[in-house]
Amino acid sequence: MKKSFFFTILFSSILCFTTLSATAFADGDFTFNPTLEFRGEYDDNINFDNTNEISDWLGVFIPSLKARWQTPRLNVDSSAAAEIRRFTSETRFNDEYQRYRLDTSYQLWERLSIEAGAAYTKDSTLDSELEETGIVENLYDRDRYTLTTGFHYQLGERVATALNYSYADTSYDGPANTDYDSHSVVGSISYLFRNQRDQVFVQPSYYHYKSKNNRVDNYGLSLGWNRSLSETLTLSCYAGCRYTDSEYFYHIYVPVFDPVSGIIWRKKKISADETDFGGTANMSLSGRTETLTYKVAYNRDLSYTSNGSPIDRDRFTGSISWRITERFSSGFDCALYFSKANDDFSNEDSTYFYLHPHISYRLNKNHHLQLHYRYARTQDKTLEKNDTYDRNRVWLTLVFNFPKLLD
């Protein structure tokens, strides 16, 4: 039922935008870009466990494609990818991931543009939840459906406004995980200064999470500033406050008198309310030179875990890529997370970081050979013993980028 509703909305969106731009399609440019990736990997802790580390070799095959249709008024971007994972010995971890996305935008009037998108992802909690929350989860499948829509309106030469809505439905195969729905509405008003280098934002936001365990309403207001320090260096700063109103559901057993059986115990659902104030931040510095591209960023916000609990998450990230020669390049990515429970019903408190150096050699115009190493370490402060554990992964990848097909 959920999938039918999702794909009905998806295809209806495609039909709507196609109808709006029927005359423009004849003048559109179409590009189609398929890619194949083969990866051989060694993982010394497949399920990132602190007591039962399992190591194995695995092969990964990733076919993907990107397609774009572009006209003077319409842009349609789509992508599809599969990730087929096969282990040498631990075959119970064999799996297939899927990722699909469609994004469209249409210039309705000179000052008004509208956009819509849809996505479906099937991956694992160990990959997706770790990236989003910094919390290590057990290795189970996760499905997420996402729908987005919004508009951008140019009020004047330097003043613009935008409003975006997003809906996501997240479900898990894990017995300890909690399915949930989320809604978000984010608006913005921006002003571009005459120097064309500074732009300030006012950004109100609302997020709603709902599961069988709780309901979380998060209201926020942020002020932002984007600054072009030079032609190759950009600074972005957002800071604000949030107010969170939560309701938690749980069950207790209460004694009830029954005329036949006497005193019996029945399960009763009760709720508890909780409110909280906090701060939010999103800052980044990005730049490039002739041979280097780099970015450092910090983000603090309220996140939602697969266990159905809100957390305060601080995330520091950094990345750098270096083009050493025409064929040879290297890079380095890293991140540090601090995740702590935001309610009185969870004791989540953990630290997580990873280091990811990699090198790439261009065999020819479209084919690349890449070598990656990733070290990850986490500390779960809620555990009395074995609270710190790590994971090492190394993989060799051959990437085939087929020439773009143009129409």
Q: What are the pLDDT digits (tens) for 196-205?
A: 899 999 999 9
Label residue 386 exposed, middle or buried (CB < 10 Å: 0-12, 13-18, 19+).
Answer: exposed
What is the model's pLDDT at position 160?
95
SS3 state of residue 54: coil
The set of residues, in sequence order, having a beta carbon less than 8 Å from that of 170 and lying 6+ positions away, is 142, 143, 144, 179, 180, 181, 182, 306
User: How are the residues of the chain apportioned to helix, strand and coil, as percentages rounded to the nearest 5?
Assistant: 10, 70, 25
Instruction: State pTM to two decimals.
Output: 0.86
Instruction: Give the residue ranges of DSSP H helices in 225-274.
Output: none
Q: Is there a contact between 131 and 142 (Cβ–Cβ < 8 Å)?
A: no
What is the model's pLDDT at position 399?
93
> DSSP code of 59?
E
Q: pLDDT below 70 — which residues of the chain?
A: 1-27, 250-254, 257-258, 262, 265, 267-268, 345, 403-407
> DSSP code of 175?
T
What is the model's pLDDT at position 21?
46
In order of 32, 143, 205, 328, 404, the CA distances from 407 in angstroms are 9, 34, 41, 32, 10
- Please report the DSSP string for 308-355 in residue order: S-EEEEEEEEEEEEEE-SSSEEEEEEEEEEEEEE-SSS---EEEEEEE
Q: In the CATH hierarchy, which fold is given to the domain comprising 2-406? A: Porin (2.40.160)
In order of 83, 122, 124, 205, 373, the CA distances from 97 in angstroms are 5, 5, 8, 32, 22
The set of residues, in sequence order, having a beta carbon less than 8 Å from that of 43 and lying 6+ positions away, is 55, 56, 58, 391, 392, 393
What is the model's pLDDT at position 23?
45
Instruction: Extract the tokens encoding 105.
Output: 């935008």
What is the model's pLDDT at position 24?
45
What is the model's pLDDT at position 272?
80
What is the model's pLDDT at position 407?
54
The set of residues, in sequence order, having a beta carbon less than 8 Å from that of 337 and lying 6+ positions away, is 133, 134, 313, 314, 315, 316, 350, 351, 352, 353
In order of 125, 294, 371, the CA distances from 319 in angstroms are 24, 6, 17
Which amino acid, residue 407? D
In order of 16, 63, 144, 220, 368, the CA distances from 81 in angstroms are 25, 6, 15, 34, 18
Question: Of the candidates 357, 351, 399, which has an alpha carbon nearest to the alpha carbon of residue 374?
Answer: 357
What is the model's pLDDT at position 329?
96
Domain range annotation of the chain: 2-406
- Which H or E run contains 291? none
Question: Of the candidates 127, 136, 132, which has an alpha carbon nearest to the alpha carbon of residue 99?
Answer: 127
pLDDT tens for 371-405 read: 999 999 999 988 888 889 999 999 999 999 886 65
SS3 state of residue 91: helix
What is the model's pLDDT at position 156?
87
